[in-house]
Amino acid sequence: MTIHSNSTLVPDVLPGLAHRTLAGAEHGLEHLAIWSQSIAPQGATPPHFHDCEEAIIVQHGEGTLVFAGEQRQFRAGDTIIVPPSVHHQLINTGDGPLVLVAALSTANVVVKLPDGTPLDLPWK
Amino acid sequence: MTIHSNSTLVPDVLPGLAHRTLAGAEHGLEHLAIWSQSIAPQGATPPHFHDCEEAIIVQHGEGTLVFAGEQRQFRAGDTIIVPPSVHHQLINTGDGPLVLVAALSTANVVVKLPDGTPLDLPWK
């Protein structure tokens, strides 16, 4: 059992997207990861998918969730449930940062672009 | 894929402990749950364990983590990693509420007391 703080900030992983791994393989986990991400105004994740389950807590800001040709609005206080293998994208439509905490059901998350190409993420 | 807000607050699940299930089986998940909990000053979880992995984000407040006869302090900004089957207890040692977000590596979490008795939790 461990307690840690000050997880490494990875700024501009993708344009306007900063990332911290709060929990994951580097902490000895196998079946769980927690990512903290901040997306700048007008920034977005790429459209992507992964084979694990995901739940995203929206801590600050607001945005649009795009999936299966649909668009849905979300805001701070909402929780987004992402089943395995569903393609999705989150877009910051607010004036301030969009701050998210994402929990994933594996510590070794392989994020794939819509064509199946794995993204070479700069964190593990 | 769903977006929800206003998860049901379960106040005083245990004395001084309020609970919300932000993500879990009721949202179609199998391998992931997220619980939001607030523990009043001087309140505590019972000593307990579970067979899944857990990572706890400390959002507000401070406390003591008790496990394997040890005590360690934690505070807002820390992340606590709990391996499967390790007995642990969190105690609020601050003057305000201790607010936690716990992610667990199954949606069907069985919380057990140190003697192995399952707790009959009022949420699923």
Q: What is the pLDDT of residues B70-94, one digit of tens each?
A: 999 999 999 999 999 999 999 999 9
pLDDT reading at B121 higher than 80: yes
Task: Search chain B and give the residue with CA nearest A23.
Answer: B55
Domain range A13-104, CATH class: mainly beta
Q: Is the pLDDT of residue A116 over 90?
A: yes
Give the closest-approach CA distance of A77 to chain B in angstroms: 6
Domain boundaries of chain B, sorted by first residue: 18-104
Least CB–CB distance from B103: residue in A5, A34, A81: A34
Superfamily of domain B18-104: Jelly Rolls (2.60.120.10)
- Over the stretch A70-93, which tens digit does the pLDDT of each residue have? 999 999 999 999 999 999 999 999
Of B4, B52, B55, nearest to A22 by CB-CB distance is B55
Contact criterion met (CB below 8 Å) for A62 and A73: yes
Q: Which residues of A17-53 are buried (b: 16+ CB within 10 A; e: fewer)?
A: bbbbbbbbeebebebbbbbbbbbeeebbbeebbbebb
- Has this prediction a pTM greater than 0.90? yes
Residue A124 has pLDDT above 70, yes or no: no
Phi, psi at residue A25, to the nearest 5°?
A: -60, -35
CB contact under 8 A, B5 and A78: yes
pLDDT band per the 50, 70, 90 thresholds, residue B124: low
Place of tokens 């927690």: A34
Q: Which of A73, A50, A47, A76 is nearest to A61 (CA)?
A: A76
Residues A105, A54 contacting (CB under 8 angstroms): yes
Its ipTM equals 0.93
Q: Check if the beta carbon of residue A99 is closer than 8 Å to that of residue A61.
A: yes
pLDDT recorded at residue A10: 86
